[in-house]
Amino acid sequence: MTSQFSDRKYVIIVIFSAIILIFLTRLFYIQLIDDQYKLTARNQAFRYMVDYPARGNVFDRKGKRLVYNQAAYDLIVIPRQVKKLDTAEFCKVLSIDRKIFLKRMEKAILPPNSSRKPSIFEKEISIEHSSILQEKLYKFPGFFLQPRTLRKYPEPIAPHLLGYVGEVSEKITDTSSYYMDGDYIGISGLEKAYEKVLRGIKGTHIEVVDVHNRPQGSYMNGMYDTAAVAGKDIVCTIDAKLQAYGEKLMLNKIGSVVAIEPSTGEILAFISSPGYDPNLMVGSALPKNYKILQQDTLKPLFNRALMASYPPGSIFKLINSLVGLQEGTLTPENLYPCRGGYPIMGGKPKCHAHSSPRDLVGAISTSCNSYFCYVFRGIIDAKKFGTTKKGYEVWRNHVLTFGLGKPLGSDLPYELRGNVPSIEYYMKKFFGKNDFKSSTIVSLSIGQGELGILPLQMANVMCIIANRGFYYIPHTIKSIDGKSIDQLGFRKKQITTINPKHYEIVVEGMAKVVESGTAAMQKIDSVPYCGKTGTAQNPHGKDHSVFVAFAPKENPKIAISVVVENAGFGSQFAAPVASLMMELYTTDTIKRPEVEKRMFEMDLIHKIQPIKKQ
């Protein structure tokens, strides 16, 4: 039966269909085009829980543990679950007062925290304290202990070498895909250098939560979870005994000691004084202690061994000798006069009293300034180079091969370069359009002037001479996770441009320094060694006392550089420290207790201060 209004069915059909079509369009948009709902869903229902791996331990070269993880606990609170709390007892257990309790509870409830969300109530409770707390925890619903780890340094040594671990900066979290807010990262020293090895790899597991933030288990049976990979242990090249001894010797002195094994480039001791107890730079106490150390006028945080650039003083005469010998402008038999100074330039630079004239060995052993002015000017003014400028360039290129004027490329972060001035620098500073004159830069002969050498570089120069012509890049890593570090590039011989045969005469000279020269007071019984004193002039105060050496003379086991700032002659301060350390390392005993005692008790820091106060 057809109805009068039968056509109206089409209108109804079209309306019904149109609305379903609109719905489909809308679904298409929210499900396929707009991503915001997918993101929001993930944020609402998923908690990305991070599994932190244990950080690797650090051992010294003899297997002694230097750094490990100490378990501690954070006390966590979920405010909503806190019920019928005996506040007085709770405060007593934690040794806090009621005011602090209320303040912390408020903090746990206010954003970004919430009463449903767990947040830290008290950080880093020691194991001893936490076990007391654990027993009483049943009385405090809503509170629980969460394990975490802190770095622990069983012996408070080598802070600058080991470095420290702290919370990552915003700068890193912004650029890194790995680090998240609140993560820990190595900030200096080995902790920084081997961060990736030590830290391991964080794992994540996705926990599904319901609308009340209650965990509902893993997502898809953990299909998208990743397991944490534990950090690897590393063995460093440090000899903890030597390090601790050196630090004791350097107590109350400003300066640095670097000791290297010449045959491998392994750093045996690495001291910057004054230092600090590395246990201060741990966990929640770090920011406070960092600030205190930073404000200390003696700059305990400053890593002098890598970052203090000193004029090397007389120890640089060794390098000038080697360059002269290589270029043939100097022979060991050359005799040069000294009349209390360099005669050519009216007795300047000055020199101390000794017999004259001297040959090379004699000049090294007495550290004759005049002699090395002849040597240095003899090189750069040599006729075969045509101009002094060319001569200087040849000289400089030789010097650079000793690992000076550039970072050595060790594995420690923040290594500086030192300075071996370029021709351009001198042209600009002194000569302008005039000729390059050797007399102007004659102070380079004796290691003064614009030269800057780091303590690490000084020790490395000793390795070169001990090895008679080569070195391995100094490094602090011995093995990672029990595997050797051959692939890190520290096994490649770095050769100087000086023929090995020229080294013997310099070694003879350095042996003479100890036998009868400037360091004759610091002989080690049964271990003949080679050394060179230096007294580096310093515009800011008293001269720096410098001593470099290696021992024994044949088949050297240790090369060392010691700088004691504002102390005076190298022979008086640096040489005893160096000789005692070499004695300990090569003979394992100290047979000069009176020297040791004098050095232990010598206080160069507090001696200065009363004078300042006057």
Partner 1 sequence: MSREQKNIFQNIDWIITGLFLLLVLLGWLNIYAAVYNDDHNNILDISQKYGKQMMWIAGALIIAIVVLIFDANFFTAFPYPIYIASVLSLIAVIFFGTEVSGSKSWFRFGDFGLQPAEFGKFAVCLALAKYMSAMNTRVEHFQTKVIAFSIVLFPALLIVLQKEAGTALVYTTFIFVLFREGFSGNILLGGFFTTLLLLSALLVNKTVLVILLALIAAVISFAIWVSSRNRKKAKRVIWAVFALLIIASGAVLGVDRAFSKMKPHQKTRINVFLGKEVSKDMKKKAGYNVNQSLIAIGSGGFSGKGFLQGTQTKYNFVPEQSTDFIFCTVGEEWGFLGSAFILFLFLALILRILFIAERQRSSFSRIYGYGVASILFFHVTVNVGMTIGLAPVIGIPLPFFSYGGSSLWAFTILLFIFIKLDSNRLLILR
Q: Does 5 bind partner 1 (CB under 8 A)?
A: yes
Q: What phi and psi, each to the nearest 5 degrees, are found at residue 113?
A: -80, 175
Q: Find the shortest distance in angstroms from Cβ 110 to partner 1.
A: 13
| Of 169, 166, 201, residue with least CA distance to 186 | 166
Nearer to partner 1, 1 or 611 (CB): 1
Nearer to partner 1, 23 or 425 (CB): 23
The number of residues that bind partner 1 (CB under 8 A) is 47
Q: Find the shortest distance in angstroms from Cβ 409 to partner 1.
A: 52
473 DSSP assignment = -
Q: Which of residues 8-67 bind partner 1 (CB under 8 A)?
A: 8-20, 22-24, 26-28, 30-32, 34, 36-38, 40-42, 44-46
Nearer to partner 1, 97 or 210 (CB): 210
Q: Could you tell me if residue 42 is left (phi over 0), alpha (psi between -120 and 50 degrees) or otherwise beta?
A: alpha
Distances (CA, A) of 426 to 90, 296, 305, 319: 72, 37, 27, 20
Residue 93, number of CB atoms within 10 A of its CB? 17
3-state secondary structure of 501: helix
Q: Find the shortest distance in angstroms from Cβ 120 to partner 1.
A: 22
Structure tokens at 125: 């409770």
Q: Does 112 bind partner 1 (CB under 8 A)?
A: no
* Residue 252 burial (10 A CB sphere; 0-12, 13-18, 19+): middle
Q: Find the shortest distance in angstroms from Cβ 141 to partner 1.
A: 22
Q: Find the shortest distance in angstroms from Cβ 41 to partner 1.
A: 3
Nearer to partner 1, 220 or 353 (CB): 220
Q: Please provide the distance, in angstroms rounded to a whole number, between the alpha carbons at the two ends of the chain.
A: 123
Contact window for partner 1 (CB under 8 A) among 3-11, 183-191, 277-285, 359-367: 3-11
Q: Find the shortest distance in angstroms from Cβ 119 to partner 1.
A: 17
Nearer to partner 1, 5 or 138 (CB): 5
String marking each residue 436-465 x if it binds partner 1 according to CB under 8 A: ------------------------------
Nearer to partner 1, 6 or 355 (CB): 6
Nearer to partner 1, 8 or 492 (CB): 8
Q: Find the shortest distance in angstroms from Cβ 185 to partner 1.
A: 32
Nearer to partner 1, 12 or 611 (CB): 12
Structure tokens at 152: 């622990």
Residue 359, number of CB atoms within 10 A of its CB? 16
Q: Find the shortest distance in angstroms from Cβ 13 to partner 1.
A: 6
- Encoded amino acid at 239, one letter: D
Q: Does 3 bind partner 1 (CB under 8 A)?
A: yes
The residues pairing with 152 across neighbouring beta strands, listed in sequence order, are 68
Nearer to partner 1, 30 or 292 (CB): 30
Nearer to partner 1, 9 or 501 (CB): 9
Rounded to whole angstroms, how far apart are CA atoms 404 and 456? Answer: 10
For residues 365-402, one letter each, b for 16 or more C-beta atoms within 10 angstroms of the residue's C-beta and e for the rest, the string is bbbbbbbbbbbbbbbbbbeebeebbebbbbbbebbebb
String marking each residue 184-223 x if it binds partner 1 according to CB under 8 A: ------------------------xxxxx---xx-xx---
Q: Which of residues 393-412 bind partner 1 (CB under 8 A)?
A: none
Q: Find the shortest distance in angstroms from Cβ 2 to partner 1.
A: 9
Nearer to partner 1, 27 or 495 (CB): 27
Q: Find the shortest distance in angstroms from Cβ 188 to partner 1.
A: 41
Nearer to partner 1, 223 or 353 (CB): 223
Q: Does 499 bind partner 1 (CB under 8 A)?
A: no
> With the C-alpha atoms ordered 216, 222, 224, 229, is the resulting torsion angle positive or negative?
positive
String marking each residue 217-256 x if it binds partner 1 according to CB under 8 A: x-xx------------------------------------
Cβ–Cβ under 8 Å, residues 363 and 508: no
Q: Find the shortest distance in angstroms from Cβ 20 to partner 1.
A: 5
Contact window for partner 1 (CB under 8 A) among 1-9, 119-127, 153-161, 250-258: 1-9
Q: Cα–Cα–Cα angle for 505, 474, 323, nearest 5°?
A: 30
The residues pairing with 144 across neighbouring beta strands, listed in sequence order, are 76
Rounded to whole angstroms, how far apart are CA atoms 518 and 445? Answer: 18
Q: Find the shortest distance in angstroms from Cβ 210 to partner 1.
A: 4
Cβ–Cβ under 8 Å, residues 265 and 463: yes
Nearby residues of 275 by Cβ (< 8 Å), 6 or more positions away = 158, 159, 160, 247, 300
Nearer to partner 1, 27 or 180 (CB): 27
3-state secondary structure of 47: strand
Distances (CA, A) of 296 to 275, 290, 292, 446, 457: 11, 10, 6, 34, 27
Rounded to whole angstroms, how far apart are CA atoms 478 and 183? Answer: 27
Q: Find the shortest distance in angstroms from Cβ 222 to partner 1.
A: 14
* Residue 64 burial (10 A CB sphere; 0-12, 13-18, 19+): middle
Q: Find the shortest distance in angstroms from Cβ 14 to partner 1.
A: 4
Nearer to partner 1, 19 or 110 (CB): 19
The residues pairing with 125 across neighbouring beta strands, listed in sequence order, are 73
Nearer to partner 1, 42 or 598 (CB): 42
Q: Find the shortest distance in angstroms from Cβ 224 to partner 1.
A: 13
Rounded to whole angstroms, how far apart are CA atoms 385 and 388? Answer: 7
Rounded to whole angstroms, how far apart are CA atoms 500 and 502? Answer: 5
Contact residues for partner 1, defined by CB under 8 A: 1, 3-20, 22-24, 26-28, 30-32, 34, 36-38, 40-42, 44-46, 208-212, 216-217, 219-220
